[in-house]
Amino acid sequence: MQRYMINTRLLAMRICVRWQFFIALPAFCLVTRSALGGVLALQSLIVLMLAHELGHAALARYCGLQVERIELQLLQGSCVFSAPRSEIEAIIVSWGGVMAQLALFVVFEALYHGVQFSSAGSQFLYPIFAVFIAWNAISLAVNLLPIEGVDGHTAWKIVPAIRNGAFMEYVRARRAAAPVTLRARQ
């Protein structure tokens, strides 16, 4: 039995999508009242969730951790990487997802307000904006709640880490440990 519906490689890591993810498609078709709208919304959701997990992956790599794979399931994703060696590494990696989502939110908000679309175009773009702006904002808010099971549970520990200097100490140590070739380009 095939475990994943999509199993591919991107940026030297495995990207896996479970079949349950596609349960969202009929729901999106209903909400947007069109098959095309549903497909566009689902594709946008894949991009948004992938960006979230790639954000975690990028910061995990910054911390020198090994990223094994990214998994997308029904309305939730996960980034599987080697165990953080300290709490500050877990805190830093936990910010990757929301930072990526926030970047997409800013870009799509600017596009939404800054570009005049024809009525046919806006009908076509509505499901995309709905995911990258409305869904994204709700997901960001939920993700940043300081409760078990979401990124906010670990992420907000950055406040005491900044106050007691542990965060800056770690950033300085990473910079010092960066390969000579990387430092030479700065």
Smallest gap from Cβ 42 to Zn ion, in A, equals 20
Count of residues interacting with Zn ion (CB under 5 A): 2
Whose Cβ is closer to Zn ion: residue 61's or residue 123's? 61
By the rule CB under 5 A, 97 interacts with Zn ion: yes
By the rule CB under 5 A, 152 interacts with Zn ion: no
By the rule CB under 5 A, 84 interacts with Zn ion: no
Whose Cβ is closer to Zn ion: residue 123's or residue 143's? 143
By the rule CB under 5 A, 71 interacts with Zn ion: no
Can you spell out the DSSP letters for the chain?
--S-SEEEEETTEEEEE-GGGGGHHHHHHHHHTSHHHHHHHHHHHHHHHHHHHHHHHHHHHHTTPPEEEEEEETTEEEEEEPPPSSHHHHHHHHHHHHHHHHHHHHHHHHHHHH----HHHHHHHHHHHIIIIIIHHHHHHHHTSSSTTSTHHHHTTHHHHHHTTHHHHHHHHHHHHS-HHHHHH-
| Residue 9-38 contact track with Zn ion, rule CB under 5 A, x = bound | ------------------------------
Contact 5, 59 (CB under 8 A): no
Strand partners, 12: none
Whose Cβ is closer to Zn ion: residue 11's or residue 110's? 11
Applying CB under 5 A, the span of 5-13, 18-26, 123-131, 151-159 interacting with Zn ion comes to 151-159
By the rule CB under 5 A, 151 interacts with Zn ion: yes
Smallest gap from Cβ 115 to Zn ion, in A, equals 30
Whose Cβ is closer to Zn ion: residue 40's or residue 140's? 140
Contact 90, 65 (CB under 8 A): no
Whose Cβ is closer to Zn ion: residue 153's or residue 174's? 153
List contacts with Zn ion (CB under 5 A).
Answer: 97, 151
